[in-house]
Structure 1
Amino acid sequence: MRVLSLANAALIAVSLCGPLAAQDHSSHGSDPQPEMDHCAMGHLPPEQCPPKDEHDGHGAMDHSSMEHGSMDHSDHSEDRQDEHTDHGSMDHSQHGGTPDKSVPGAAPEDAVPARAFEGPRHAADAIWGADTMAPSRENLARENGGMRTGSVLLERLEARIATDGGEDGYVWDAQAFYGGDINRFVLKTEGEGEFGGELEDAEIQALYSRAIGPFFDLQAGIRFDPEPDARGHLVIGVQGLAPYMFHVDGALFLSDRGDLTARLEGEYDQRITQRLIVQPRLEIELAAQDIPERGIGAGISKIEPGVRLRYEIERELAPYIGIEYEAALGKTAKIARASGDDPDGMKILIGLRAWF
């Protein structure tokens, strides 16, 4: 009986091993796999795949043995990009931002919507009434650009000490204004003389000044010279701040005797400290014709370059020292020599600048 039992067991083993030997053992260690659906995996184009239900085959697929490295995921990545929009490439310029005015057909920068003109010109009028608000608006305009102010500037009040043995003298140069930012009345005066001697030159100008730009005023008016001989002039000129902070004052003068002259002044304040300031200055005088009674010849009649060093004790009060060269040129120099005067000379300056 024992022998028969062993024989039966051997036959069963042989019968089982036969089918197993014919199987493909390349996937040992994994569960038996059903036939792969290559259409669902994206290995075949859609036209070669039969229509199937959307969920067919997904439950039976075992992805543990798939070779994902060789699978084509391009279609799936595109689907995912459709489902999940790439926010990095989205144009958010229209979400709460300023529209791109460079787009053809866009409204210009200065476009005003029509609804801006629907209400009253002054919104407060709808509440308080136009008659009540009118005085307030006038006061606002006056206090913000319409105020009238005045100032007096003593530009130069100085003693001139000759370095070449000539006569010592003095000079004054001052101006005052009163008015607003646009229209002003300007009064100017300047002159010179010798200590212990007579007044050599003096003039007074009364001018209407109108702003022609942010930094320049156009001035016109009259000038009266009490010395060396009484004479009147019509005046037209400009005054202001040129580029690079140069103070410029230029004018043409037409006298009551038909003489045309001109003067150009320029100066520059260079701060060394908050109180110590160096000021180069240049003055040039010109004449269109000879004026023998005043010792002036046609052309550039006089030039005065100089430099001053001032110290501001207060902003309104600044004493200074300096040096200046004064020279008559051209025909004016010849007239000076003919009359026995020296046409040029160097002066040491001691003066005061003030304003209030």
Structure 2
Amino acid sequence: MENLSSLKMTLLAAVVTAAMAVPLPASAQAHSGHATHNGATQSPAASAVSPDTGSAVKQEAEQGAMDGAGMDHGAMQTQGGSAPADARDPNAYSEGYMRNAGKYALPPSQALRMSDEHNFASVYLDRLEYVRARGQEWGTYDGEAWYGGTYNRAALKAEGEVAGGKLRDSRTQVLWRHAVSTFWDTELGLRFDHGQGMPNRQWLALGFKGLAPYWFDVDATAFVGPNGRTALWLKTEYDVLLIQRLYLQPSIEVNLYGKDDERRGIGSGLANGTAGLRLKYEITRQVTPYIGVEWASSFGKTADYARAAGEPKQETRFVAGVSLRF
């Protein structure tokens, strides 16, 4: 009995080995795992695909591809062509007006322009104020107007003092302004000084104006006049925002001259300077009233000329005014 059992085991092992050595078709290997999906069973005979069957499937696929190649794709409708008979009139909502005909027709010579080729204009009165110091009162103005495009503009800058209904002192500049970068302009032109009871002066002006880092407004100009006269004017301002429309504006302004001008009470070197603090409130972008205080000082020979004329070397001024922009 033991020999019979050993013989059965040997025969069974040989059958298993022979079955494992037989290769399966590729389709049966790839999809054999799906035979039990949804609880379905499939016999080994059904899962095997003969070479003749695979060849027939391949021939049918090739025949289908050939039939598709013979389709007439040129007969398919694409976009374009004439508008349908019931299409909306393109001029129905413009009341018949067209860009190249009728009221809005452009002359043949006119071409479209970019935005930086248009000209604009602006008038800005930075200070139109009432001043009181040492029991005396007068008015001052400081502003500019310009006309031009993004890169080149004609500018007029003016500042002065009015007392007793008369123009006591004024400085007017006529300039050509050119943008050299995003935040900076250069200026070239003429300056005219006028003073009551004093000789007038003319200067050639060259300067720059712009926005420095940390939002400081900077304005600096050098001047050259007849008889070797030279001057330098510097001004800077900064806005300290308190709330949305209320802000403080500290400012500093100085004047330097290359030589004495006794007839106008000006000495060489650092002649005079002012430091101010104004509290401004923007009612609108165009109208900004303010109040403030300003400290003015004379230096060197300019201070000597002031004392000789009975004027103080230093004084504190209280101001109230409005800034206007058009």
Match of 1:139? 112
State the secondary structure of the residue aligned to 2:266: coil
Matched, 1:171 2:155: no
Residue type matched to 1:331 in 2? K
Selected match of 2:171 from 195, 203, 225? 203
Match of 2:21? 58
C-alpha distance in 2 between matches for 1:135 and 1:266: 46
C-alpha distance in 1 between matches for 2:171 and 2:260: 20
Matched, 1:224 2:192: yes
Using the size of structure 2 for normalisation, the TM-score is 0.66
Match of 1:33? 13
Match of 1:115? none
Residue type matched to 1:139 in 2? L
State the secondary structure of the residue aligned to 2:247: strand
State the secondary structure of the residue aligned to 2:116: coil
Shift of 1:290: 1.8
State the secondary structure of the residue aligned to 2:267: coil
| Larger-Rg structure | 1
Matched, 1:267 2:237: yes
| Structure 2 unpaired stretches of 5+ | 24-99, 101-105
C-alpha distance in 2 between matches for 1:353 and 1:155: 5
C-alpha distance in 2 between matches for 1:336 and 1:311: 35
Q: 1:33 to 1:186 in 2, by over 3 A?
A: same
Q: 1:36 to 1:282 in 2, by over 3 A?
A: farther
Match of 1:114? none
| Structure 1 unpaired stretches of 5+ | 1-15, 38-54, 61-127
C-alpha distance in 2 between matches for 1:344 and 1:199: 23
Selected match of 2:131 from 127, 139, 160? 160
State the secondary structure of the residue aligned to 1:229: strand
The equivalences for 1:4-43 within 5 A come to 16-17=1-2, 32-34=12-14
Selected match of 1:186 from 149, 155, 174? 155
Shift of 1:298: 1.6
Instruction: Name the stretch that deviates more: 213-222 or 268-277.
Output: 268-277
After superposition, what is the alpha-carbon deviation per residue over 1:295-346, rounded to whole angstroms, capped at 9, x for unaligned?
2222111111111111122211111101111111233223323443211111
Match of 1:69? none
Residue type matched to 2:153 in 1? R
State the secondary structure of the residue aligned to 2:117: coil
Alignment root-mean-square deviation, CA: 3.1
The equivalences for 1:85-164 within 5 A come to 135=109, 138-141=111-114, 144-162=115-133
Matched, 1:279 2:249: yes
C-alpha distance in 1 between matches for 2:242 and 2:251: 16
Q: How many residues align?
A: 243
Selected match of 1:312 from 252, 275, 282? 282
After superposition, what is the alpha-carbon deviation per residue over 1:20-54, rounded to whole angstroms, capped at 9, x for unaligned?
5xx69xx9xxx9534999xxxxxxxxxxxxxxxxx
Using the size of structure 1 for normalisation, the TM-score is 0.61
